[in-house]
Structure 1
C-alpha cells in the first residue's frame, strides 16, 4: 500500500495533523478509539486551550522553538474551529476553556475534519517496523492479524510521551527518533502529584487551600490539595515541572493576606479573641490542627508580641517541604522532555536530516503549563507538520 503521508498516533496531535495533511493520508493507532487522552481530560470536558496562551507558558531545551507554530496557529484559531462545529464552551479559571458538554465532542470534531480532508484512519493497528530505503519510508503495520506494508513519502510521529501508560503510552516516538539519528532529551513525569513518606498528610487528606508555591525561583498561585499520598492540586501539578529529586518546595499558605498587619490590628481591637479562632478565618480548621504539631496557636491575640507574630508569619508564608518523589507516569498529565528540538525545523516540525520525517505534540521537547497549553501545542505543531506535508512533492 502506498500513501503520501502516514501519521502514527490518533491522539490530539495526530488527529489534527490528519485534518491538514491532505487526502492521501493514513492515520493509524493501536487503540480501539481515537483521542483517548482528549476524552478523559478536564474531568471529561476537555480543557482544549487557554485564552492567555503565550510563549512563556512552555518549557523545553530551546525556549524559542515553539514560537513559530504557536504564532501561526493560535488558540483563537482553535476556538474558531470549535465554534464552527457548534460546540459550546466556557472559561473556567485563568483562561482555561472547557466544553460545556463532553470532551468527546472535540474528538468527534477532529474526526469530522479528518474525514472532510479525505484522510483515512485505521484503529486497532500496531506498528511493527519503521524503515527508510533512501527514498521513502517503509512501515510494517499489523491489522486484523495480518502484516501490511505501507510506503510513504512523509511520516508524522504523533505517538506522544510516556504519561498514563495504562492508556497505551510508550516511548515509541523516542525509539523512532533515535533510529533516525535524533537526540532525545531526558524525560520525566510532569504535571504530576508529589508523594511523601509515611502518610505525611493522610490525616488531612481532602483539605484544599489557595497557596503560593515556589521552586527554583518559579512561583504559582493556585490551589493545593492534601492527599493520602502527598500533595496535589493545580499549584502542585504546575510546580512539579520545575522540581527535581531532592528539591524542597516553599509553600505560602496565605498569599493574599498581610497576616502581620491583620494580627497587629486585631491585637488592639480584639485582644481577648483566641489566636486559633482568628486563624480559622484564614486557614482550614483541619490544616490548623495539623500545623499545631509544630506551630503554636495557643493564647489570645492581645498576648502576641511582635516577635511571635513575625515568627508565625515566617512559618506560614515559607513552609518548606521536601517531597520524596512524584506519582510518576501513572498519573502524570504529560511527559517533560522528548525529541530534541535542535534536530527539527521549528516552522514545519520536520527533521533537519531526514526529509519527510516529522515529530509533533507531546513527543517533542516542548511541555506546556497546566490549563490547556499542552493541547494548544498539539494543535499548533500538528497544523505546522500537516501543512508542510501537504506541500511536499510526492
Structure 2
C-alpha cells in the first residue's frame, strides 16, 4: 500500500513527521519495521531482474530494505537533497564517501579542526592507499584556496566543528571546490538540517552521524550521505552493496522515528545551551567559552546567518590554569564533580553529556594535531540536553566554584 503523495513545499517540521512513509497492506500509521535479511521473490525471472537492478523490488537487506529506505527519504527531504544513503555509523558514511570518490593520486583538503577519527581516517588510513590530504584552518578561506592542486577532488569540512564550534563559510568553500572541479562535503552533525542546510549554500554532499541529534536519545548507531541522485545511485549504492557498511533496519527505524521530534529537540536544547554559555562566560574559573551563539565567538555573525540565527546545543569551555598538567587536573575535577550530566563521549542526546576531548574524541591524535585543532588539556565539551537549566548550572558550579 503506497501512502498518498505529499504536497510540494511542505515545511521541514512537517517533512520530519511525514516524509518517507510507505504503508504496508495493513495501513499502519506508525512506520513499519522490516526485520528481515532477505525478501521472497514472486518468481525466478523477477528475482533475476531485481538483482540486476532492472526492476524495482527488495532482494537482500545489504542492498536495500524498506525501513532503511524510509529513513533515507525522510533525511533527504529534510536536507533538500535528491537522495540519501544510510550507513552503519557516521564514520562509515565518511568511509563510503572517500572510497567512492577517491583513488590513488587524488588530493583532499580538509579542516584541521575536524572530528579526531575523521583526521585519522583521511590523514593516516587513506594515506596508505596513495590519497594525499592537506589539513588547513577551518576559518581561513585563503588557506583552502592556496591548498588547491590539479589533483584536488574533495574539500571536506564540518561546521560547527567538534569540539571548538568553529564555523566555516560554506558558500566560499563551495566556490573554491567548484572552481577546482572538486566537490565540497559538509558534516552537518552539530547543526542538523533544522538549523543549516549546506546543499542550499552550494555544498555537494552532506554527511550525518545519525547516532547524534537525528536519533536524539542515544539509542543506536547510524550514518548517512545526502546528495544528488547521480552520486547516490551511481557511486555510493553500488559500493555499499559490495562493501557492506549498511545501516541495519532496526537502527534506521529508530532514527526515522527520532527525526519526528528533531526540530523541537534541537531548538529547545539550543535555547538551553545559550543560557548556559552566557553563564559560563561570566564564571571566574572559566578562561574561554566556545559557542557560536555568543557575540564573543569569532564567527558569530557567519554562524547566525548560516544556522538560522541559532547557536546549536554544543558548548566547549576551557578552565583557567597555569600549565597543561594543572589544566587537565582541573578539567577532570569539573567533570568528576557533576552528578546530573553524563560523563560520556556522545552528543545530541536529550541527556546532557560532558567530556574531556583531549583524552577522548581527540585522544588518538598527536599532541601537535590536538594543538592545531585547538584541543587543549583544559578544554571541556558539554552537549546540552533537555534538563532544567538551573539544575545543569548547579551541576557545573559544583566543580567550577572550587576553582574560582
The normalised TM-score by structure 2 is 0.24
Q: Which has the higher strand share?
A: 1
| Structure whose alpha-carbon radius of gyration is higher | 1
Higher relative contact order (CA 8 A, sep 6+): 1
